[in-house]
Amino acid sequence: MPPIHRIQWPVPLSGLRGVKPSDLPREISAGVTLAALIIPLNIGYSQVAGLPPVAGLYSAIIPLAIFALLTSSRHVVGSPDASIAALVGAALLGFAAPGDALILQYGLAMALLVGLLFFVFWFFRLAFLANFLSRAVMAGFISGLGIEVLTNQVRKILAAPHHGFESPAEAVALQVQEAVAGSLQTKGFFVEIVAMVESIPHANLYSLAIGAGAFVIVRLMKRYLPRIPGALVALVLLTTLVTVLGLDEKGVSVLGEIPSGLPTLTVPALAPADYLELVPGAFAVVAILMCEGLLLIRSYASKYHYKADGNQMFFAFGVANTAAAFSGSLLMGNSPSRSASMEASGSGSQLPSLVAAVTIALVMLFFTDMLAYLPNAALAGIVASAVLSLIEVHELKVLWWMRRSDFWIAITCLLSVLVLGPLQAVIIAFLLSAIDVVRRASKPGTWLMQEAADGSYFIPIAPEEVEPGSELLIYRFGSPLYFANAGMFAGDIESLVERNTATLKCLVLDAQAVTDMDTTGAESFHEAMRLLADKKIVFAVSRASRTLQELLEHYGFDQQIGRDRMYPTNRHAVAAWRQERGEAPPEKTVSPEQGESEL
């Protein structure tokens, strides 16, 4: 009987382990700082997703506290982030326009679907799926999202509409641009760039100054005063400036009224058919969250020497996003920037997240009137500063120097986000990862193993470097044998036979790397054996794993090869061949460095 799948229940409060009474002042202070970071960013990310600002604030109360209590990581902060907000915004755009009351219902429904999908991933322990999005794919995809979000924030800072140009030529140009965008069935990122550049003369200079000021303040404080929340400082200063100078009457838009009070029970009011249409977007969000989250928790766990369970993180995301769906909140992800801020403050637990949740709850009860005067341009400048970390220029440079193929995969993913949109780009990202895996496996390393002069070890050489006239060849195939490389295997065997047809008497397959063999691989294996049999060339196998031996037996190859032709090492294969031929082995001189190595 197959083994029964056992549910691995999470261990609550894992993220609070190790907190001592002496740590409380530092952890509480870090929590207040975290609240100061969360308020402006969550409002900004709600706007990126097209949801009301209050949805971002609500996500920092119940969902944040639940994630902190259930996650196994002591450092990763659960929160909406720019990449996830951009994905949500792209997914919801086809259902309702930003500002439409219906878009919140779709946002909550997506949070519920994301939560349910994470429960499925947790139950079946599918954390390994994160390995199918490569470093290059993630770098390109996240950079593309960062560029998209940054561009949208610049448009908000300019506060200039795309339409309303006075020149007829400008109007015709815009119509052409929109036609191109429609033909691509996308928003037309590059068309938007052109329109944004053309709108610069129409920008509101006060809004531009407020947005640029927020960006500069945050960047300077991050560099010179990293322990002080620059986003909060920028908001306080610029909100005061807008209020004192009356800039809201000069075209600088402000956030507006935010309902006070704590979140209440909210049930997404959508038909079942609408949920089905949201599933692709939910899968895209889960895919990116899964990869980002596992990478983040593993890096912190490795750095601080504790165990963090990736599957428990899935459970935490599932409960947190389900709570977000029923509390009117923006769906939850993880925030690398806020996690790094908490690490820099000296925090080593999830206690700051709990403190931040309480702090923001107090703000929602007593201080929402102050939030109404926040300038949107300042929020856009703060978000623009935050998303710069998503544009991984350094990572792209590293990929360029390390492996050009990975670099071009990253660039393809980046352009896919901009040209086709984030949801389509997720599919392309998975396809590129799969194609890259198949491409690499289709051309594994293959060598001929040449015995050293003294017979003490073997040297891998290229097939064309083998000395002519060899009676025995040892061919090493460097990967599992399956449909993608079966043709290469058969072609190599045929080529070796043709080049050595006059002298070759025995061919040994060094099968150490052949850990699997599918039916297509088995067919090529059979064709190779038949070719060798027709040429009256003895075929043998060395270094076959137990798995491969079972497969050879399953396919019936063990009888065709013969048990006496299955050797544990290449040395045994050569010795057996010499014994058959009545040849004496060479004098062996084994150096300490070589030992008994096959290579």
Q: What is the pLDDT of residue 593?
A: 42
Could you please report the per-residue DSSP string of 52-92?
-HHHHHHTTTHHHHHHHHH-S-SSPEE---HHHHHHHHHHH
Tokens for 114, please give them.
């994301």
Q: How far apart (Å, rounded) are the C-alpha atoms in residues 198 and 178?
A: 14
pLDDT-derived band at 6, boundaries 50, 70, 90: low
Q: Give the residue-averaged pLDDT of 569-594.
A: 74
Q: Give the residue-averaged pLDDT of 136-163.
A: 85
Q: How far apart (Å, rounded) are the C-alpha atoms in residues 237 and 81?
A: 24
Q: How far apart (Å, rounded) are the C-alpha atoms in residues 315 and 523?
A: 44
Q: How far apart (Å, rounded) are the C-alpha atoms in residues 561 and 572?
A: 16
Strand 472-477 versus strand 458-461 pairing type: unpaired
pLDDT at 377 over 90: yes
pLDDT digits (tens, 9 = 90+) for 491-541: 999 999 988 888 899 999 999 999 999 999 999 999 999 999 999 999 999
Q: What is the pLDDT of residue 174?
A: 43
Q: Give the residue-averaged pLDDT of 18-23.
A: 87
Give yes or no for a contact between 477 and 510, defined as CB atoms under 8 angstroms apart. Answer: yes
Give yes or no for a contact between 79 and 241, defined as CB atoms under 8 angstroms apart. Answer: no
Among 74-78, 121-125, 226-230, 553-557, where is mean pLDDT lowest? 226-230
Q: What is the pLDDT of residue 185?
A: 40
Q: What is the pLDDT of residue 161?
A: 60
**List of residues 6+ apart from 549 with CB closer than 8 A:** 558, 566
Please list the helix, strand and coil fractions of the chain in percent, rounded to the nearest 5, in that order: 65, 5, 30
Q: What is the pLDDT of residue 586?
A: 67
Indicate the average pLDDT of the chain: 86
Query: What percentage of residues in the chain have a pLDDT greater than 90?
Result: 51
Q: How far apart (Å, rounded) are the C-alpha atoms in residues 359 and 188?
A: 41
pLDDT at 346 over 50: yes
Tokens for 342, please give them.
């908490």
pLDDT-derived band at 17, boundaries 50, 70, 90: confident
pLDDT-derived band at 63, boundaries 50, 70, 90: very high
**Partner residues linked to 448 by β-bridges:** 461, 475
Q: What is the pLDDT of residue 234?
A: 92
Q: What is the pLDDT of residue 5?
A: 53
Residue 100 CB coordination number (10 Å): 13
pLDDT digits (tens, 9 = 90+) for 215-262: 999 999 988 888 788 888 999 999 999 999 999 889 899 998 899 999
Q: How far apart (Å, rounded) are the C-alpha atoms in residues 69 and 142?
A: 28
Give yes or no for a contact between 252 and 204, defined as CB atoms under 8 angstroms apart. Answer: yes
**Partner residues linked to 481 by β-bridges:** 517
Q: Give the residue-averaged pLDDT of 153-161.
A: 86
Among 283-297, 371-385, 433-447, where is mean pLDDT lowest? 433-447
pTM of the model as a whole: 0.77
With tokens 């780009």, the residue in question is 425
Could you please report the per-residue DSSP string of 259-320?
--S----------HHHHHHHHHHHHHHHHHHHHHHHHHHHHHHHHHT----HHHHHHHHHHH
Q: What is the pLDDT of residue 596?
A: 42
Beta strands in 321-417 (DSSP E): 334-335
Residue 6 CB coordination number (10 Å): 7
Beta strands in 395-548 (DSSP E): 446-451, 458-461, 472-477, 506-510, 538-542
**Partner residues linked to 506 by β-bridges:** 472, 538
Tokens for 48, please give them.
């990126």
- Domains, in order of start, for the chain: 20-159+206-406 (no CATH), 446-581 (3.30.750.24)
pLDDT-derived band at 591, boundaries 50, 70, 90: very low
**C-alpha dihedral over 589, 591, 597, 599, to 10 degrees?**
-80
**List of residues 6+ apart from 68 with CB closer than 8 A:** 15, 16, 78, 350, 351, 353, 354, 357
Nearest to 321 by CA among 293, 358, 356, 362: 293
pLDDT-derived band at 310, boundaries 50, 70, 90: confident
